[in-house]
């Protein structure tokens, strides 16, 4: 019960289904970001949704800077959740950083996850020119990024939400994301953002043993197309698909395309 409360876990869909879909949101969001996707699967799958600690309605008392200074804390949370629910035949659908936490959980706890779907995920956001890797950010950009967060978090959230969401003809999407960002305690947001943007799990990719789908969007400020190509090239038994929408949040801006991609993979 503590884990259910900690992560505000919600189980919906078909309770008798043999297969389970676990949806995990990215930074600045909560489980509600999948609200336009999950109904398509409710008849045939058990569906698990949860909030990452520090976001949504997860137990704020469970947040520990020591535990979540690196994303390994969230990897352990994924394992806790899956072990507590004892679901079989799990497909883990992780958006953004949660794709990588699911990927790492599949490596360290191989019995828990049977398939992976990485939705706008990256193994490293920083460029690594020495090794010919493009992540999309350099140190100067990230320093400016975190300075802006620390100087005026709410102003940063308003500006960043527009860049990340894109879809300028639908400003309500960026406004909703800005509101979601602003519900997070600034100190938590900054610590988690640093854990995300400074991660590097390229060396883990070859260890993945489950079928994996990499989903790429256009004009994604956080994950350029070359990153999804890198994932496909370095994860065994993986394939990549593109959804025709801009921005970092295809489950919000193009849910029908995301549904079709998931259905095709399943």
pLDDT tens series, the chain, 266 aa: 599 999 999 999 999 999 999 999 999 999 999 999 999 999 999 999 999 999 999 999 999 999 999 999 999 999 999 999 998 899 999 999 999 999 999 999 999 999 999 999 999 999 999 999 999 999 999 999 999 999 999 999 999 999 999 999 999 999 999 999 999 999 999 999 999 999 999 999 999 999 999 999 989 999 999 999 999 999 999 999 999 999 999 999 999 999 999 999 99
pLDDT at 130: 97
Q: In this structure, are residues 43 and 69 in contact, taking their beta carbons and an 8 Å threshold?
A: no
Spans of all domains in the chain = 2-124+201-265
147 classed as catalytic: no
> Rg (Cα) of the chain, in Å, rounded?
17
Distance in angstroms between the alpha carbons of the first and the last residue of the chain: 30
Q: Could you read off the pLDDT of 127-150 as tens digits, one per residue? A: 999 999 999 999 999 999 999 999
* Set 25, 95, 201, 248: catalytic member: 248
pTM higher than 0.95: yes
* Set 96, 180, 228, 238: catalytic member: 96
* CA 7 – CA 60 distance, rounded (Å): 9
Q: Domain 2-124+201-265 - what CATH class?
A: alpha beta
128 classed as catalytic: no
154 classed as catalytic: no
* Set 106, 220, 228, 253: catalytic member: 220
pLDDT at 1: 55
pLDDT at 218: 87
pLDDT at 167: 95
Enumerate residues 6+ apart whose C-beta is below 8 A from 53: 6, 7, 59, 62, 63, 68, 73, 74, 77
């Amino acid at each position: 019960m503590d884990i259910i409360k900690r992560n505000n876990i919600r189980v919906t869909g078909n309770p008798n289904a043999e297969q389970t879909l676990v949806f995990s949101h990215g930074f600045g969001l909560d489980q509600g970001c999948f609200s336009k996707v999950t109904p398509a699967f409710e008849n045939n799958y058990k569906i698990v949704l949860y909030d990452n600690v520090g976001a949504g309605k997860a137990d704020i008392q469970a947040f520990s800077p020591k535990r979540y200074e690196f994303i390994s804390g969230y990897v352990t949370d994924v394992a806790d959740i899956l072990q507590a629910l004892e679901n079989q035949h799990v497909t883990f659908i992780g958006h953004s950083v949660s794709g990588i936490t699911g990927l790492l959980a599949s490596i360290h706890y191989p019995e828990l996850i049977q398939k992976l779907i990485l939705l706008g995920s990256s193994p490293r956001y920083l460029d690594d020119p020495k090794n010919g890797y493009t992540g999309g950010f350099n140190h100067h950009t990230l320093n400016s990024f975190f300075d802006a967060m620390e100087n005026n978090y709410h102003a940063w959230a308003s500006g960043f939400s527009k860049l990340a969401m894109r879809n300028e003809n639908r400003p309500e999407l960026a406004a909703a994301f800005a509101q979601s960002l602003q519900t997070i305690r600034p100190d938590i947001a900054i610590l988690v953002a640093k854990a995300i943007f400074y991660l590097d799990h390229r060396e883990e990719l070859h260890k993945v043993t489950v079928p994996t789908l990499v989903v790429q969007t256009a004009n994604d400020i956080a994950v350029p197309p070359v990153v999804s190509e890198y994932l496909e090239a370095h994860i065994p038994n993986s394939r990549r698909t593109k959804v025709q929408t801009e921005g970092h949040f295809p489950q919000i801006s193009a849910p029908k395309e995301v549904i079709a991609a998931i259905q095709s993979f399943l």
